[in-house]
A and B are shown apart, each in its own frame.
Chain A
Amino acid sequence: MRKLKLSVLVIALFLMFGFNANAQDANTILKNMDDVMYSPKDMTGKTKIILIDKAGKEKTREADIIQKGTDKRIFRFTAPSSQAGIAVLSLPNDVMYLYMPAFGKERRISSSVKSQNFAGTDFSYDDMESKPNSEKYTPKLLETEEGAYVLELTPISKKSSYSKVIMKVHKTHFYPISAEFYDKGNRKIKEGISVYKKIGNYWNAQEMSMTNLKKNHTTRMIMSDVKYDTGLTDDDFTVRKLKQ
């Protein structure tokens, strides 16, 4: 059940398109970044999730993703074979359904725990939330580096597991390059890096990786076969579709 929000993150962070602006302040930069990330109408693609433990041992999972807007998506696992067919449907207002083919039925899931990591990956529920960053954080422009703005993001909700996030945003394209996550003890606990490529009109996060610095555990998510604006409808995001 903790896989649910993976799609949110995936979608949120890699839906990009070219955007150019001379942002002046932190709020504008963040707003521009949200615009870059949440622009496509819909998306389909495949993702490969590689989990790397501290000994360097890898575990791989694969899934198909479809998404409409920012709040409707289905995440369907294709590998490993024991987990193939497990699917998660996310709908607005934190409504989620989990389908397990071995049981032949779906269960509705509600979760209020956002700080937990989901199944084996280093992304937390919080990381995967598709809520625009400008609604989640209060930004502060720390410095302007060559090619990037460095923002300090302070969570608005006191329930966030982070005290701050230091994010680098591309100066001309406004996609996030890297992020450092600090816990409430003000220790850096996670580091995320993303690599972007332009697909059609949108910037796409081809690969994202997140490293848990405490456990020295890394998750890489690699996207492929990405198509944008193929005309998905709300009917593609129903419980009936989930079971197919």
Chain B
Amino acid sequence: MNKLAEGIVKARWLIIIIVLGLTGFFGYQLKDIKLDADVVNSLPDDDPTAVLYTNIGNKYGGNTMGMVIVQADNIFDTKVLEHIKQVTDTVKYIDGISTVTSLTDVIDIKGSDWGIEIGKLVDEYDLPTTQTQLDSLKHRVMSKEMYKGNIVSEDGTSTLVLFTLLDDADKQAVAKEIKEKITKLNLPEKISFGGIPMMMDDVSNLMMVDMRNLIPITFIIIMLVLLISFRSARGVVLPLLTASISTVWVLGIMQLSGYMLNLVSINMPVILLAVGSAYTIHVINRVNECKEKDRRKALIISLTYIIIPILLSGITTAFGFISFVFGAYLTMIRDFGMFTSLGVLIALLISVVFVPAFVSAFSMFKSQKALKKGIKSEDTIMGKMLLTPFSNLIVKHPKYITVIWIAVMAISIWGMFNIKTSVNMVEYFQKDNPTRVIEEIMQKKFGGSIPVFVVFKGDMQSPDVLKKMIETENYMKKYPDVTSTQSVADLIEEMNDVMGEGKKIPDEKAKIEQLWFLLDGQDIMSQLVTDDLDEGIIQSKFASAHSDDAKEFVIYMNEYIKDNSTDDCQILLTGMPSVYVKLNDSLINSQFSSLAIAIVLVVLIVALILRSFPKGIYAAIPIVATIIILFGFMGITGIALDIATVLVASIALGMGIDYSIHIITHFSKKFDEVKNIEEAIKDSIMISGKAIIINVISVAAGFLVLTFSHIVPIQNFGLLVSLSMIGAGVGALTLLPVILILANRAKEQVYKNLDNGLKYIKNKKI
């Protein structure tokens, strides 16, 4: 370690040039960095439920469908119809739009005794004006399932302008244009926008706003914390420089490797600012404390001393993040885990290599004056007010502290049993967010917007398959949260009726094939069956957003599928309810299994590097206690386990363990030196404790900034990580010393006896 430290100081200029060069290079890549707001993309690509859902969405165009919702007192009014037509035409002529369906532009097929009449429901060039015409339109709309509850709400106060996008369209760009152009129409009706392309635009805007606001706030907060703590320019500049360089590097690498920033990883810069500055804080703190006169030597000594604990803490933190690569269900979380852990490792590298090089190159040592004054930790405000009384209390009353911890843990364990999960993506938006508002309208007026698909694999022109589809649809509609269904079987029934043979599936395949001739090439067909006619879907909507309802529905459907799926007609269920159920199960499973693995591995890593298994265990105790308190807190306050809060425990473990490591290494070295527990504990708390407190404050403050995010799980994530960091810090400064005192009493006694023995021998000789 000594050689490494010397090498770093020697090669300082080379290191500085390389680091700055790479920063310039990666920084240049940032000009092309892109946001990926496609929520559907973030479903994992190795889970059958999610894969089926994504495939269905892509194959049948569901992921490229959007809607404009028009609300008025009464839709059946000439003025309102005119405005609906205006909206329809505006959307129709935007580049990237494939089809548009609305009240003023929808096909109406009427069968009569003499034949078939094909027309538009409303003649867009001759809108109904008299009350009789309007009443007759209303009557027609309300009598057909195809319109009622699908295009016009049952109460006649809302209507949808539905549109699909071309496959190669830039979804976000089209969504943006639609919003801009419709808003410009300045219509008196209430207009809102829904569907995945629209939601993506919302999400991407939220992400941009978050990034613009949160990064500078974090920067300023951490700067203030550092300024108060170190009261020196380098104490502020170097940690922030480390965090900034590592952020630039990791974003550059992300861009180069073809990844995009997503809903979760957009917070990476904020997290790296908070986490990445920590390692530099420890380096600087150590250099400050070193009393060696030759500052270059002091730097080398400090570095030798600090490299191992810093490496260890960096690796464990990175490990906390990287555990998502294996444990998380959503790819956006996996990407986040992967790149954040990379960022942590880069910050680590910068702290131990670049920062010392920088300090020695620019002679940014603490001024000799300050050194001469000999300000000791004990004399600083933090030392006087906090650390000294604190260390006295611990050394004198270890039992009180133990009792308090046990009591808090007991309450937390009780609270853990009330923990909830939340997997409904709509709840991830704040209450007044457009996406959430739309969901409520859709739920109230149009039977929800949560897509449900039942996939049928078999000959789509076979009477048996089509009859089974109708049967399945009837079964689905018996469920209270399902109001309407649509499939090619419905269309065949309708065409059969038009041919004068009644609204049913014909028994002969030949008839179906000929009815198919009438439907071929209709836009709707590509949304219902594949080109090869070997697969088709029932499209439906689920009205409830609650996880429990989704679970119940999936069970209800699976019961039916089990009894009815055959080789010739394979039935599969997918859609958001299925994904929610899967997500819900995996949240809890992955939480506990990955956390357990993480704890074991962290203990082993710590034990290995400190070359003591008990030390590994001691280090883990405060953080495990903190995690129990974290879950208890979530249970008691009702903060649910969701895509982001599920990350907190592992991150807390990876970062919180650092505090223990610093205390344990410090204590061990000092204890070996002075052979006195009390002195070793006091020294550890006074020096390492100071760095820990600064670190807790800066990290917690950094993460607290996330509570200003527009995305609810990110808000909770920020809050919980901050609390965990405080918990881990307090644990390392109270619980851990108590454990160390208790564990080392025997050893101290041995030292004392040894000492007494030596004295005795000495005395005897004299």
Show the binding face of A for B, using Cβ within 8 Å. Answer: 1-3, 53, 57, 77, 82-83, 86, 97-98, 100-103, 105, 107-113, 116-121, 158-159, 183-187, 214-215
Across-interface contacts of A98 in B (CB, < 8 A): 116
Across-interface contacts of A111 in B (CB, < 8 A): 117-119
Q: Are B521 and A121 in contact (CB under 8 A)?
A: yes
- Additional A-B contact list (18), CB under 8 Å, known A105-B500, A108-B116: A1-B518, A2-B118, A53-B531, A82-B513, A86-B517, A98-B116, A100-B517, A102-B514, A107-B500, A108-B114, A109-B117, A110-B116, A110-B117, A112-B123, A113-B120, A117-B521, A119-B519, A119-B521
User: How far, in whole Å, are A116 and B518 apart by their CA atoms in the complex?
Assistant: 13
Across-interface contacts of B123 in A (CB, < 8 A): 112
A107 with B498, Cβ < 8 A, contacts A53-B531, A102-B511, A184-B89 known? yes
Tell me the interface secondary structure of chain B in the complex.
mixed
A-B contact pairs, 12 of them (CB 8 A): A2-B521, A82-B461, A82-B514, A102-B508, A102-B514, A107-B116, A110-B118, A117-B521, A119-B518, A120-B521, A184-B89, A184-B92
A116 with B107, Cβ < 8 A, contacts A107-B498, A158-B125 known? yes
CB distance from B59 to the nearest CB of A (A): 13
User: How far, in whole Å, are A101 and B461 apart by their CA atoms in the complex?
Assistant: 17
Q: Are B520 and A100 in contact (CB under 8 A)?
A: no
CB distance from B258 to the nearest CB of A (A): 25
Tell me the interface secondary structure of chain A in the complex.
loop
Q: Are B115 and A108 in contact (CB under 8 A)?
A: yes
User: How far, in whole Å, are A118 and B166 apart by their CA atoms in the complex?
Assistant: 19
A113 with B118, Cβ < 8 A, contacts A82-B514, A183-B93, A187-B93 known? yes
User: How far, in whole Å, are A186 and B116 apart by their CA atoms in the complex?
Assistant: 34
The 4 A-B pairs with the shortest beta carbon distances in the complex, nearest first, are: A185-B93, A120-B521, A108-B115, A82-B513
CB distance from A6 to the nearest CB of B (A): 12
Show the binding face of B for A, using Cβ within 8 Å. Answer: 89, 92-95, 98, 107, 114-120, 123, 125, 166, 461, 498-501, 508, 510-511, 513-522, 531
Q: Are A101 and B521 in contact (CB under 8 A)?
A: no
User: How far, in whole Å, are A112 and B109 apart by their CA atoms in the complex?
Assistant: 11
Q: Are B499 and A105 in contact (CB under 8 A)?
A: yes
Across-interface contacts of A116 in B (CB, < 8 A): 107
Q: Are B116 and A83 in contact (CB under 8 A)?
A: no
Q: Are B115 and A120 in contact (CB under 8 A)?
A: no
CB distance from A181 to the nearest CB of B (A): 14
Residue of B92, B125, B501, B513 with highest tally of chain A CB at under 10 A? B513
CB distance from B140 to the nearest CB of A (A): 15
Closest residue of chain B to A57 (Cβ to Cβ) is B531
CB distance from A74 to the nearest CB of B (A): 16
Closest residue of chain B to A107 (Cβ to Cβ) is B115
A119 with B520, Cβ < 8 A, contacts A82-B510, A103-B514, A159-B125 known? yes
User: How far, in whole Å, are A76 and B345 apart by their CA atoms in the complex?
Assistant: 73
Cross-chain pair count, CB within 8 angstroms: 96
User: How far, in whole Å, are A53 and B508 apart by their CA atoms in the complex?
Assistant: 30
User: How far, in whole Å, are A112 and B107 apart by their CA atoms in the complex?
Assistant: 10
User: How far, in whole Å, are A53 and B530 apart by their CA atoms in the complex?
Assistant: 13
CB distance from B522 to the nearest CB of A (A): 8
User: How far, in whole Å, are A121 and B117 apart by their CA atoms in the complex?
Assistant: 21
CB distance from A40 to the nearest CB of B (A): 29
User: How far, in whole Å, are A187 and B93 apart by their CA atoms in the complex?
Assistant: 8
Closest residue of chain A to B495 (Cβ to Cβ) is A1
Closest residue of chain A to B97 (Cβ to Cβ) is A214
User: How far, in whole Å, are A108 and B116 apart by their CA atoms in the complex?
Assistant: 6
User: How far, in whole Å, are A101 and B522 apart by their CA atoms in the complex?
Assistant: 22
Across-interface contacts of A120 in B (CB, < 8 A): 520-521
User: How far, in whole Å, are A145 and B324 apart by their CA atoms in the complex?
Assistant: 66
A185 with B92, Cβ < 8 A, contacts A82-B514, A105-B500, A118-B521 known? yes
CB distance from B41 to the nearest CB of A (A): 22
User: How far, in whole Å, are A54 and B719 apart by their CA atoms in the complex?
Assistant: 50
User: How far, in whole Å, are A102 and B508 apart by their CA atoms in the complex?
Assistant: 8
User: How far, in whole Å, are A40 and B117 apart by their CA atoms in the complex?
Assistant: 32
User: How far, in whole Å, are A120 and B517 apart by their CA atoms in the complex?
Assistant: 9
Q: Are A2 and B518 in contact (CB under 8 A)?
A: yes
Q: Are A102 and B510 in contact (CB under 8 A)?
A: yes
Across-interface contacts of A3 in B (CB, < 8 A): 517
Q: Are B92 and A110 in contact (CB under 8 A)?
A: no
Which of A1, A57, A100 meets B118, CB within 8 Å? A1
Across-interface contacts of B94 in A (CB, < 8 A): 185
Q: Are A215 and B98 in contact (CB under 8 A)?
A: yes
Which of A53, A86, A103, A109 meets B501, CB within 8 Å? A103
Across-interface contacts of A107 in B (CB, < 8 A): 115-116, 498-500
Q: Are B115 and A109 in contact (CB under 8 A)?
A: yes
User: How far, in whole Å, are A2 and B517 apart by their CA atoms in the complex?
Assistant: 9
Q: Are B517 and A119 in contact (CB under 8 A)?
A: yes
CB distance from B107 to the nearest CB of A (A): 6
Across-interface contacts of B114 in A (CB, < 8 A): 108
Across-interface contacts of A117 in B (CB, < 8 A): 521
A113 with B119, Cβ < 8 A, contacts A120-B521, A214-B166 known? yes
Across-interface contacts of B518 in A (CB, < 8 A): 1-2, 119
Q: Are A83 and B514 in contact (CB under 8 A)?
A: yes
User: How far, in whole Å, are A185 and B518 apart by their CA atoms in the complex?
Assistant: 29
Q: Are A109 and B514 in contact (CB under 8 A)?
A: no
CB distance from B210 to the nearest CB of A (A): 35
CB distance from A80 to the nearest CB of B (A): 9
Closest residue of chain A to B168 (Cβ to Cβ) is A216
CB distance from A62 to the nearest CB of B (A): 14
Across-interface contacts of B116 in A (CB, < 8 A): 1, 98, 107-110
Q: Are A102 and B513 in contact (CB under 8 A)?
A: yes
Closest residue of chain A to B508 (Cβ to Cβ) is A102
User: How far, in whole Å, are A49 and B93 apart by their CA atoms in the complex?
Assistant: 29
